[in-house]
Chain A
Amino acid sequence: MNQGMICCIRKDIKECLRTGKVVLFAGMVLGIGVMIMGFTLIFSDIPEELWAQLPGFNIESLEELVSTMYPKMVRESVGIFSYYIGFFFSMVVILVIHGMLPKEEKSGKWILPMEQGYSRIDFLMGKCVVYGSLAGGMVLIGYLLYYMIACGCMEQNMTFGNALVCGIVHGLNLFFIVAYTFLFSLLWKNPVVSAVSMIATIILVPDMTAYFSIGKILPTHLLRFVYDSSSAYGELVVPMLLNITFLVLLWFLVAWKKEQ
């Protein structure tokens, strides 16, 4: 990493802190956690309440529905939390960041720094590292916090080690999503294409490919892995390697395109 990249990272840390991005990302993770936890604790009592109020009322199907949507067991509940993070939090993050780099370039913010020796790749690196780490870090902290609180009020069926691995994998998922969004935003003429393709990928692909054996080697399996709170760590190797390979290839493609 050269001095230009380090300076861009420092600058982007200030950007995150001063433009409210840290608060936004932390607030989103916290809000999703509170919502899932609240629904789980409130909704799980509703069938019993109904049964008490209306004796003879058939609560079995309602109980089943509530336990599927908001299970009162740690592993399943953490899985639901990570699904909401993968769905809503990723979507907000993508919408916030997809236009950042093209907008900076278009408005001429890069002209004066580039005169002094900065390159486009320095700006890209700064954004990927800072926003990727911020989103990933928030998810990891939020995940572990949710796990610990869930352990106190739900049926414990997940080890801390498993939660830590899943939290790290989900943090990496967000890091990759952020990095891909920034890279695609510089690759396509219109950054909206980058946002739409990323949102479509993270929402549709993990569910669609879950039914096929090839789905287990695609990078999107890393999302499926945390949604299922899986402990089959061997399944992480191939998707992770493929993910890193894609990212490196895309990085070089963008670098080459920007040099042209």
Chain B
Amino acid sequence: MVQVENIHKAFPGKEVLKGVSFQVEEGSIYGLIGKNGAGKTTLMKIMTDLLNADSGHVYYGEKVGDRDGYLPDLPSFYEYLTTDEYLDFLLFEKNPIRRQKLLDFVGLTPNLRIKTLSRGMRQRLGLAAVLVGDPQVILLDEPTSALDPSGRNDVKDLLMKLKNEGKTIILSTHILADMDSICDKAGFLHNGVIAKEVDVKQMQETATGLILHFATEPDLLALSKYVPQIYKKDDLTIKVVIDESQKPESQQKLFQGLAAQTAEITSIRSATPSLDQIFREVCV
């Protein structure tokens, strides 16, 4: 288990992290979500000892500050080397068997000039480089941000492969569509703290609201007396949030409120929450 405890970090004139704490279960994927400049990279660098925290600790299992695999957002390589030479360099020796295993895992052809690699291929090589030391915990900073949709899918497949091998993965991103499909848990980094944490799988299984479409503009003021949380999507569409802890009562009140409406309802569908919605609520 990875445990991040009360991390503080300030740069001249700006306190970036103001006590970040979270836990990541072994063999799971944890998504660190936040706006650009929220401090995701700073936190990642602290977690990999590339930067010192002003205070706080990171525990990998039982040990404090143990170094694990870290892939920066835009990994930089020695362009004049080939993929094989680069991996041999990281392995400290010529080790064709291990090197081939790494290349096969990330799906790269051997002996390519790094200079000629596409962004997606560079990300794969970066992942192979991280795996050289066979780390149990892998930290990835914006692994899909510079990739096209097919490259993003490839990286997501690789991460699932790693998860299936029992690796713990922590990744930061602002592309939330990627997180929905692969993360087990997500933490929203906002104003220097983890402002909200969600269990992604559980969230997807539970619909907490309804999307209602009306033929004419509804009377939101009247409806708000029955349902406290109403989000106006456009003039004719609203989202109502049902309180999970008091579901039967909330539903009953909603029906009463709808019955009092003069506007005709044309459609009702369940609103499955997404990380994007939570992001808007928490971070924007």
Contacts and interface: CB of A to CB of B under 8 A. Distances in A.
B81 A115 contact: no
A30 to B, nearest CB: 24
Contacts of B50: 111
A258 interface: no
Interface residues of A, number: 18
Interface stretch (A13-21, A40-48, A66-74): A13-21
A202 B250 CA distance: 84
Nearest to A109: B76
A118 to B, nearest CB: 8
A112 B70 CA distance: 8
Given A4-B92, A7-B92, A116 B76 contact: no
B130 to A, nearest CB: 7
Interface in A97-123: 107-109, 111-113, 115-117
B78 A109 contact: yes
Contacts of A109: 76-78
A19 B80 contact: yes
Contacts of B129: 112, 115-116
A115 B78 contact: no
B67 interface: yes
Interface in B123-173: 126, 129-130, 132-133
Contact of A116 (B48, B77, B85, B132): B132
B120 interface: no
A117 B76 CA distance: 17
A108 B67 contact: no
Contacts of B70: 111, 115
A103 to B, nearest CB: 10
A14 B78 CA distance: 10
B273 interface: no
A117 B89 CA distance: 11
Nearest to B115: A18
B80 A113 contact: no
B170 to A, nearest CB: 15
Contact of A115 (B85, B91, B130): B130
Interface in A1-25: 3-4, 7, 10-11, 14-15, 18-19
Contacts of A18: 80
Interface string A106-147: 011101110111000000000000000000000000000000
Interface of A: 3-4, 7, 10-11, 14-15, 18-19, 107-109, 111-113, 115-117
Leading 5 A-B pairs by shortest Cβ distance: A18-B80, A108-B76, A112-B129, A107-B76, A109-B76
Given A11-B85, A19-B80, A112-B90, 7 more contacts: A14-B85, A15-B78, A15-B80, A18-B80, A109-B77, A112-B77, A112-B130
